[in-house]
Chain A
Amino acid sequence: MCIGRLNSLARFQANRWSQGIVLAALLCAGSLPASEVPKAEPESDINWAKEQQFWSFRAPAAQPLPAVKNKSWVRQPLDQFILARLEEKKLAPSAEADKRTLIRRIAYDLTGLPPTPEEVKAFLADHRADAYEQLVERLLASPRFGERLASVWLPLVRYAEDQAHQVGTDTKYFYPNAYRYREWVIDAFNRDLPYHQFIRLQLAADKIADASENDLAALGFIGLGPKYYSRGKLEVKADEWEDRVDTVTRSLLGLTVACARCHDHKFEPVTMHDYYALAGVFASTDMVNKTPGGAVEKEVAADKLPVTALHIVQDGAVTNLNIFIRGNVDRKGPEVEKRFLRILSNGEPKPFTDGSGRLELAEAIASETNPLTSRVIVNRLWGVFFGRPLVETPSNFGHSGLLPSHPQLLDDLAVRFVKNGWSIKTLAREMALSATYRQTSRVEARKAAADVENDLLGRMNRRRLSVEQWRDAVLYVAGDLEPEGGKSLELDDPQNHRRTVYARVSRLKLNDLLMQFDYPDANVHAEKRATTTTAMQKLFLLNSPFVIGEAKALAARLAEESSDSARVRRAYEWLFAREPDRTELKVALEFLRKPGAPEMSRWEQYAQMLLASNEMLYVD
């Protein structure tokens, strides 16, 4: 970790609102009673011109490719930025990973699944110069690509199918057809829907003339949001608006706007005025269950809802909000017109005039001139491929977030992303094909000493699989994975052999497997996933019916091979895309020679340990 990447608050001391920040910090820390806090300074005191010079609020600029010595190493523009920084520190990139490592790595990244032994064999036998490029193209075209990226996207928008509160057995706020949104997202990634369109449709498909009937499902972004207990009450409505503002601004803009609900933001140039101008959009928006004919269904129990009903939004009674002083709904301040954030606007933002203002909000976010939108998604995708995003606070690009490790690179990628028609696949392709990505993850002592946390990417990062990747891979190698999607199944259902992305996600009770393996709480936007290592996770590997069942399935599948050593080889090909070495083979055969237990054969026991192994959980 590079210390210089932190946006220190010290930077603020010279800033005009440093005093306000200190006061707000004291207030938030509870050190000052509210009565002693001076009134918020008028927002015009923010030096907007100066704030707009902060790195993330300036438009990203195309960067000249930095000079490098080792030009032959460069495969993609991004490589030149990475290499320049390495050379600055007198470091060289690592060698390219071997083909087996590469195919396993890229298959997990682009499809969330390991390659089959046949795919590995074909890749090894393909000696064309562009064999890897061909492989990447094939994986990008796979329908599994959309499923993989949906797994990344859905927790950002706190996708779930129910509510954290259930009064009695009431299911009227549940979302039995939530999967229609998920399907739309998967399809959007698969057909490479331009990202700005992806945003526009999710926020305002109902207000876009050329949107298709099918695109209405995209409105689940807001339509599947949390509904809180006693949601008719003003203070509860205010909590719900906060969820919408928080989810939209952190997931799409990398800005923590919801902090400004009770006071002007402590750290960012975001005022209460900004917050309530955005909250007004959601105060003017209703969450409805709507059938294709456009009929709004009454709020009924989930099982009474037509299967065609989508959980989406529409404009409601259009209103402006008053600022609630200190967030208290009983203390009304001035009314503010709905509009976009001041810091991201050219001068004073124009009020929204089209109903709720959702379309205007969508346009403002998905605009080429928005300095954050492209940077934020480019950064998230970087995190998917390299294990760590360039900005390590991917939902916070403000003063209180961290600085990018490679600012010029981030800018250049963002600019070219927009120029390339906001194409996610084009962006993914550049990362996948880069020399940076193709490096081995092996650690060299000298380089490790010079760059402990691998900030400069002089090697690839070894990465832990997500719970989705891991579970899918277990089912896949055991021959059990079913490709269907559609309506969600419970993960606990022993018959559920579908990909994890198709499982039901609950706000009320997150499935134990998901919860134990770091799937985030679906009640709020998830900036990124923690990776924890706990004994409870290991108990699942040792004793759960799922792992034992799949171990048995794997053993049965391997039984087709002619000998124990052939079976061990086949297992290694499936699970690890490689052959076992002599020691591994010897260890295996020794174990397999002994008698099994009545209910679990030796082979089944062995298969279970392969599934529970570290190699199964990590990609190099």
Chain B
Amino acid sequence: MWTDSPFTGLAGDVPLTRRQMLQRMSAGFGMLGLAGLLGPQAAGASTDDTRAPHLAPRAKRVIFLFLNGGPSHVDTFDPKPALKQYEGQQPTGELYKKSKGTGFMPSPLKFSKHGRSGIDVSESLPNLARVIDDCCIIRSMKTDVPNHEPALLQMHTGNVQPIRPAIGSWLLYGLGSENQNLPGYVVLRPSPKIVVGPALWSNSFLPAEFQATSVITSDMQVDKLLANIRNPNLTQEQQREQLDLLGKLNRLHLDRRNGDSELDGQIKAMETAFHMQRQAMQTFDISREPESVRAMYGDTTFARSCLLARRLVEDGVRFVTVYYTSDKNNQPWDTHSNHDESHLKLCADGDKAAAALIADLKARGMLEDTLVIFGGEFGRTPYAENREKAKAGRDHHHTAFSTLLAGGGVKGGTVYGASDELGMHAVENPVHVHDLHATILYLLGIDHERLTYRYAGRDFRLTDVHGRVVKDIMV
């Protein structure tokens, strides 16, 4: 018998709302349902406070232009003239394995001041230089591990193991989607080949409604982009007729079951899917853009993906990641050899498209509430790596690198933080990946310490127990 029952006396004395209950129940969130894909109605109907922003949001949506492999900071946004002076000398310090190369290697690129802000930008980025007054450069980024896999995972999920949700899923969980007829979190990549892979955009323990829709952008025909977006046998009219039949059958089924709201939700989702086909066929179709706009971005897979990203956020997608990869190279910015030449080629493509995106968003009045991020999982060593001296490369570098932010409430024309005179370590106002995450969430109106999900007996956060909001870069 239950004598001194631990079960009695509890029922009345702990007044908890349904919301609190759900927050404390792992996997219980599924009950709220539909927030990610069914958008504002579902979001509005829910009383849960993770739906409404904690703070006044500056940004509503995010485009992350991800430079896989890690771009060199000393060749882009962080000029280090002292490298010339120390050229050929070996770096010291326990963090760095003995360089196989020829010691410190200055950038061959010329830096000059641009815009009213007069920020130094390398000549490899002439287009971004033109929009630099809309950008903030963080020169003091750092991450935990100088290897691609853990650094990629950390930049996407905050954790170095593949067991946590990506930032896009967190944001969808926190804010819901703005357009019920489109997925809320879209991943664009030119090639299926990408280091780490889908763990980078995993919803992990967050319910499936917060998962990313991954799109391979090598073929921009819409029905090649999105699986199951069009019926191969039926026209929309024929399918409408089919769905009318289904609607009748489902409603007969529902009527015999007292209007069970879950069954009703299924019926609504089916209608949403039907409309999503048409909406997606429009939104995902960049051929609808005028030639002049397409030319502004450039004619490469990355450029086309940037243009598609703009169309997506314009129509209400919350978070878009564009990866810079190709079939030939699953992390092109990883220039271990032949760095100088490769870097220029990569920049020519990336620079033009990224600058076009920023300018395009601005022209449409969307830059102020769209956050654009341009960067990789880490930077590259200020010293040479290699092999044949003539084709020197740069190795992975995680203790100082640069990330560009634009729009979304970020103060344009600013530089934040600094690395030491050789670009080795972030020395002034260091910004760890956790800090960047906390800042992105803040810009979207979310307190990173309050966006939690109860799982496995713990409240998990994107930033774990870390994270500092960098308010100095905000408008």
Contacts and interface: CB of A to CB of B under 8 A. Distances in A.
Interface of A: 1-4, 6, 8, 10-11, 27-31, 53-55, 61, 63-64, 164-167, 226, 228-230, 239, 246, 250, 256, 258-259, 266-268, 392-393, 395-396, 398, 400-404, 407-408, 442-443, 445, 462, 464, 507-510, 512, 515-518, 521, 523-525, 527-545, 548, 581, 583-584, 587, 591, 594, 597, 599-600, 605-606, 608-610, 612-615, 617-618, 620
A400 B14 CA distance: 14
Given A535-B272, A548-B232, A3 B15 contact: yes
A360 B257 CA distance: 52
Chain B: interface residue count, which band? 35 or more
B450 to A, nearest CB: 9
Contacts of B461: 29-30
B37 A165 contact: no
Interface in B253-295: 253-254, 257-258, 260, 262-263, 265-267, 269-270, 272-274, 276-277
Contacts of B45: none
B160 to A, nearest CB: 8
Nearest to B150: A229
13 contacts: A10-B13, A11-B10, A30-B461, A164-B162, A258-B456, A268-B457, A524-B205, A533-B266, A538-B274, A541-B273, A543-B230, A545-B232, A584-B252
Contacts of A8: 10, 14, 16
Query: Which among A443, A523, A536, A591 has the greatest number of chain B C-beta atoms within 10 A?
Result: A536
Interface of B: 1-2, 4-7, 10-16, 18, 21, 24-30, 33-34, 36-38, 147, 149-150, 161-163, 180-181, 183, 196-199, 202-205, 207-209, 211, 213, 227-235, 238-239, 241-243, 245-246, 248-250, 252-254, 257-258, 260, 262-263, 265-267, 269-270, 272-274, 276-277, 449, 455-459, 461, 463-467
Contacts of B7: 4, 55, 403-404, 407
Contacts of A166: 197
A600 B241 CA distance: 13
B238 A543 contact: no
Nearest to A3: B16
Contact of A542 (B181, B231, B465): B231
B250 A533 contact: no
B25 A443 contact: no
Contacts of B455: 527
A614 B2 CA distance: 43
Contact of A597 (B208, B238, B252, B254): B238
Contact of B456 (A256, A507, A615, A617): A256
A491 B250 CA distance: 28
A589 to B, nearest CB: 11
A392 B21 CA distance: 11
A63 B217 CA distance: 62
Q: Which of B34, B162, B265 has the most CB of A within 10 A?
A: B162
Given A395-B456, A518-B208, A407 B232 contact: no
A523 B162 contact: yes
A314 to B, nearest CB: 25
Contact of B254 (A4, A532, A614): A614
B234 A614 contact: no
B234 A605 contact: yes
A579 to B, nearest CB: 14
Contact of A165 (B11, B149, B449): B149
B147 A532 contact: no
B199 A164 contact: yes
Given A2-B11, A164-B199, A250-B456, A613 B249 contact: yes
Given A29-B449, A536-B183, A4 B11 contact: yes
Contacts of A548: 231-233
